Amino acid sequence: MSIRGALLTNSVDLTTINPTGGLLGSYNTTVYDTDSIVSGSHFVIPSALNGKYGVITHTVDMSLQTGTDSTQLWIAKDNGGSLFSGVTWAGVPTQAHQLAGNGQSTTSNWAWIATGIIPLVTGARYDVTWQTISDTSITLGKSGCFGLYVLDTYLWGYAVAKLSGDLTGQNFSTPTAIAWDGTDVLDTMGAHSPSVNNTKFVVTAAMSGHYFVVGASVHLGSVASGNAASLAIRKNGSFVYTGMAGTSGVTTNLGYHTMTCATQAIQVSEGDEFEAVLYCGDTSTDLTAARSNMYVMVVG
């Protein structure tokens, strides 16, 4: 099966990184690049993709980070090499931005962003940039990644799972796979069952070899201020895989927390299993059914 796009990652963790002044993404491994899109650690749209549409995503996996620090991520168009003036973005059109707070007592932080569906134009350059607010020495995990998938055509595979109702007083202080027990919104590929192993989306034989994007959104209510939370897509029981997705942060005094994440476009095999795993430091919180879901779509 085929996909059009590009995916970058690193072969090793990057240690003692100081991103307080803002850093461009740095990647040394090309997982795939169908149209000569990759140029160093950024993307340049070739003429073959002009007039098509795509989605650009970025995931970072940080550790040894000061617990109270925060992280900012950008996906920027036509950066041209300039970066920041102080902490102000230097006039670069920003396609996506996230400010992710870290937990007060944690030393790791995922963050994930994606553009919407954007038109691809010959010569347009896309960079990822990131910044910690105060921490001058962190480790950037090799599971982070930067990708573009082209919406050449959408294939027929698609599935969305929901909860049957709100979950109240839940304890996610041990990372837990969410059991999607509601009637599936749709499932054209037979990837999910609301009643049997309902935490899992399982790749069927018919879907083997295709490229999937797997994502989830959750809304946590009644979260005590200052409690860290994280959401990640686990593949075959592991958080470390090429094209991983995760996001984390700390709640404010609003008393709720909303998170979303999605993988890059990754090639799957029959029997691969995907789960949305949730963590929250508050041991009694609510999960809102109407604002929570997990999905998979075939993009190649």
Residue type, 203: V
Mean pLDDT of the chain: 83
Architecture of domain 5-150: Sandwich (2.60)
6 — pLDDT class (breaks 50, 70, 90): very high
How is the chain split into domains, by residue range?
A: 5-150, 158-298
What was the pLDDT predicted at 253? 56
Condensed to tens digits (0 to 9), the pLDDT of residues 125-153 reads 888 888 877 888 888 888 889 999 998 65
Place of tokens 């347009």: 124
The residues pairing with 278 across neighbouring beta strands, listed in sequence order, are 176, 231
| φ and ψ at residue 59, rounded to 5 degrees | -125, 135
CATH ID of 158-298, from 3.40.50.450, 2.60.200.20, 2.60.110.10, 2.60.120.40 = 2.60.120.40
60-93: b or e for each residue (b if 16 or more CB lie within 10 Å)?
Answer: bbbeebbebbbbbbbbbbebeeebbeeeebeebe
Q: Do domains 5-150 and 158-298 have the same CATH topology?
A: yes
d(CA 160, CA 221): 22
Angle at 153 between CA 147 and CA 156, to 5 degrees: 105
For residue 200, count other CB atoms closer than 10 A to its CB.
20
